[in-house]
Structure 1
Amino acid sequence: MNTQNRFSKRYSFEFFPTKTEAGAEKLLATAQQLARYEPDFFSVTYGAGGSTRDRTIDAVIGTQTATGVPTAPHLSCVGDNKQEIIELLDHYKANNINRIVALRGDLPSGMGLSSSELRYANELVSLIREHSGDHFEIEVAAYPEMHPQAANFKQDLLNFKRKVEAGADAAITQYFFSADSYFHFVDRCESLGINIPIMPGIMPITNYSKLSRFSESCGAEIPRWVRKQLEAYGDDIDSIQRFGEEVVTRMCERLLQGGAPGLHFYTLNQAAPSLAIWENLKLGERR
């Protein structure tokens, strides 16, 4: 498992594009606050079926311009045809964007995979490489606890391997709360000859009810002991956040000590929860 130690540590933060001007201003303020910690990059999500396309573009270019931190757009293939994707790649290249998070993307209600020219993330990675060569560093998704729509773990690993073989440079995992699930996943990847950096996705715990709903939909398991303690706090938000910070910090310590090549924080457009973990880990002193 320690083979990932050969990769230098890197740290990144993820945002989502907002619907209002006030939200966009808050996102930029959050990015500027986080930029002071010199992350390796930011990323900005992309709505189901490309539903946030313009807002993602604006957030990516605006954030990189304002902060100087390389900012990567998420790009999905579901709902977009090849020409639209190529035009988007050219637009990003012209605006000095050099990293892409390539995903299949969520299916909007009523849409099937057969309605898209590209159906899987490995096909999107191949298209990016064919059209743009090595201009973009390509991140892809990984699922230590298995993609919720995968038939089984073996099939999910083979799907991941196809993305790597298509030209992915690195991967970011779905969030999880068990370091063992990450280590087991990396071990299985290495047994298949997959040797790209696999960045653990880290979700700070700030609101249990929202976290529980989202985790159910995306297949992220909340360990029973964590769930029961969070349930016991009820509406005591301060206790939930203190406990969550402790749990996630300890997990991050174990991940880094065990050879993880860095951390990718799902910020939900808030700086404080991720920075609390950052400060607990004293990441600035490790760089």
Structure 2
Amino acid sequence: MNAAPVISFEFFPPKTADGMDKLRIARDQLAAFAPKFFSVTFGAGGSTRDRTFETVIDIQQAGYEGAPHLSCISADKAEIRALLAQYQSQGIKRLVALRGDIPSGEVSNGDFRYASELVEFIRTETGEWFQIEVAAYPEFHPESSSPSADIRHFKCKVDAGADAAITQYFYNADAYFRFVDQCDKLDISIPIIPGIMPIYNFTQLARFSSVCGAEIPRWLRLRLQDYGDDLASLRAFGMDVVEDLCEQLLAGGAPGLHFYTLNQAGTISTILEHLGARKK
């Protein structure tokens, strides 16, 4: 593994006490790899706001750094201001600032249109208190009108005050490296951390990908489909694919890896061990 790559992990807030217990087990297993932070997702339209807060505080109280996702779609400035103050009062120093998805069947009527406006608002309200992570899309945002427009929108977030970016997941390392090259040409110099999605289940992965615009390359899709109900073989093959992707990314100079855990630790732990990640 490259010297001191930044490792981080994403969780979603559990709905039940049993789910929280399972998350804690996964968190403590992954903590062995000395992650920079654990991020916690924020549901469409703020639908998991309280559970996101509770999960982040639980992470902080366990002695790790928690980074709540904060989406601004359908939110007004007073709501975001109150939430920022709440996180500051708890000593939270890192945020993942996102536009977010409009809840199904609703129309956005908030004060923010884009994540860049949210980043600018956070900086105006709190100065340099927060380390702000934003999203990046090597294969382009599904709502973007063109690749050039997409990267301009990304630059707006950087210019507004973002400190680093985490990408949407992908399975083509070239897409990431081309995106980084484009950013270099626009003098975007913040760290761009590749987002990594382990492969657990083809149906689930295909559903996620259709929503977020991540491409499953044809060769990979066909191989995964060919395993059918043989989940053990599919996961073993998927782990090899993701491990190879991580090796390519780190060898090519990626500053770290951010894993979308789906609140599971086993496969990711094995990948990191195979990569030679240093454990505590």
Normalising by the smaller structure, the TM-score range is over 0.9
Q: Which residue of 2 aligns with 1:187?
A: 181
Shift of 1:284: 1.1
Pair 1:8–1:126, CA change in 2 (3 A) = farther
Of residues 225, 235, 238 in structure 1, which corresponds to 2:219? Answer: 225
Q: Which residue of 2 aligns with 1:88?
A: 83
The 2-side partners of 1:229 and 1:8 are apart by 34
1:107 aligns with 2:75: no
- The gaps in structure 2 that reach 5 residues or longer are none
Of residues 6, 16, 19 in structure 2, which corresponds to 1:20? Answer: 16
- Superimposed CA distance per residue, residues 144-180 of structure 1 (whole angstroms, 9 cap, x where no aligned partner): 0000011010000000000000000000000000000
1:31 aligns with 2:27: yes
The 1-side partners of 2:268 and 2:74 are apart by 32
The 2-side partners of 1:47 and 1:130 are apart by 24
Shift of 1:35: 1.3
Q: Which residue of 2 aligns with 1:74?
A: 69
Shift of 1:8: 5.4
Shift of 1:44: 0.2
- The one-letter code of the counterpart of 2:218 is R
The 2-side partners of 1:230 and 1:109 are apart by 30
Of residues 259, 262, 267 in structure 1, which corresponds to 2:261? Answer: 267
1:175 aligns with 2:176: no
1:248 aligns with 2:242: yes
- Superimposed CA distance per residue, residues 81-138 of structure 1 (whole angstroms, 9 cap, x where no aligned partner): 111111111111111110000000011123334x110111000000110011101000
Q: Which residue of 1 aligns with 2:208?
A: 214
Show structure 1 runs of 4+ deviating over 3 A.
Answer: none
The 1-side partners of 2:276 and 2:42 are apart by 31
Shift of 1:79: 2.1
- The gaps in structure 1 that reach 5 residues or longer are none
SS at match of 2:33: coil
The 1-side partners of 2:158 and 2:26 are apart by 32
Q: Contact (CA 8 Å) 2:134, 2:165: kept in 1 or not?
A: yes
The 1-side partners of 2:41 and 2:101 are apart by 11
More displaced stretch, 272-281 vs 53-62: 272-281
More displaced stretch, 172-181 vs 271-280: 271-280
The 2-side partners of 1:107 and 1:166 are apart by 22
Q: Contact (CA 8 Å) 2:180, 2:192: kept in 1 or not?
A: yes
RMSD: 1.4
- The one-letter code of the counterpart of 2:110 is S
- The one-letter code of the counterpart of 2:263 is N
Q: Which residue of 1 aligns with 2:36?
A: 40
Shift of 1:213: 1.2
The 2-side partners of 1:116 and 1:261 are apart by 35
- The one-letter code of the counterpart of 2:101 is D
1:61 aligns with 2:54: no
The 2-side partners of 1:49 and 1:61 are apart by 21
Identity of aligned residues (%): 57
The 2-side partners of 1:80 and 1:116 are apart by 5
SS at match of 2:102: coil
SS at match of 1:125: helix
- Superimposed CA distance per residue, residues 232-255 of structure 1 (whole angstroms, 9 cap, x where no aligned partner): 110001111110010111111010
Q: Contact (CA 8 Å) 2:9, 2:37: kept in 1 or not?
A: yes
Q: Which residue of 1 aligns with 2:129?
A: 135
Q: Contact (CA 8 Å) 1:267, 1:273: kept in 2 or not?
A: no
Q: Contact (CA 8 Å) 1:80, 1:116: kept in 2 or not?
A: yes
Q: Contact (CA 8 Å) 1:38, 1:69: kept in 2 or not?
A: no
- The one-letter code of the counterpart of 1:70 is E
SS at match of 1:263: strand
Q: Which residue of 2 aligns with 1:196?
A: 190
Shift of 1:277: 1.1
